[in-house]
Amino acid sequence: PLRLEPTGSQPPRPLTRGDLRYCAGPTQPPAEIMTEAVFGIKGKDFVIVAADRTTAFSVIKMKDDYDKIWEVEGKLFAALGPTADASNFVEFVEKNIRLHTLRAGRPLSTKAAANFTRNELAHALRKGPYQTDMIIAGVDDDGPQLYMMDYLASMEKVNKAAHGYGAMFTFGLMDRYYKNDLSLEEAKDIIRKCIKELEVRFVIDLGKYTCKVVDKDGVKSIDLDA
């Protein structure tokens, strides 16, 4: 039978994990991100962000009370993906944003913080990539702002955002019910509809959700059942 022989004097090297990931397609998100859900909605003078609390390894649920929404200098950073990548990257960004505040004597705007985060994710993409999808939210002099970023460092300013399998089930709902002058109760109701849709349609039970709101007074956690 016909055989293809390696060219040159070097023997063929075994495939690495990176080779296999590339062969699967560079635009295919990692499985850890796909089995999670995070939503963000910009309201009249606030931004609301909700995320599931589950962390998993392969098919094993490790925790069901993990907070995936970080507060960074009065802003919300929601990160999905392998827990090590997500927490390490957000903590790295958090410390650098805090350092800037100490040096400059003033905090970064939401836009500046989002662009700094995107730039660091892009640099890491070419060295040691973080498999992390993010939503960044804040309220400053420019009003409420919401940014959506994927693990390939592509970022967009949006009115509504979702990542993971949650995005596949809920973007239609958010398009249907979103309006520019949403009140907090209306935004909470949209989040409840998104969670209910996942409970009905999605084969995996993601359990409880964490929900936080950022406005001109800062960040607060809210109960969706209230």
Q: Report yes or no on whether pTM surpasses 0.85.
A: no
Cβ neighbour number for residue 122 with a 10 Å cutoff: 14
Amino acid at 30: P
- At 11 the pLDDT is 52
Q: How much is the average pLDDT of 111-120?
A: 96
Q: Is the pLDDT of residue 192 over 50?
A: yes
Q: Can you tell me the distance from the alpha carbon of 79 to that of 39, in angstroms, rounded to the nearest whole number?
A: 11
Q: What percent of the chain has pLDDT over 90?
A: 69
Place of tokens 């409970």: 199
DSSP 215: E
Q: Is the pLDDT of residue 194 over 70?
A: yes
**Helical H runs in the chain?**
17-23, 31-34, 83-104, 110-125, 165-177, 184-201
Least confident of 113-117, 133-137, 168-172: 168-172
Q: CB neighbours of 83 closer than 8 A, spacing ≥ 6?
A: 55, 62, 66
Q: For the segment 17-28, what is each residue's pLDDT rounded down to a tens digit?
A: 444 444 444 445
Q: Is the pLDDT of residue 33 over 80?
A: no
Q: What percent of the chain has pLDDT over 70?
A: 85
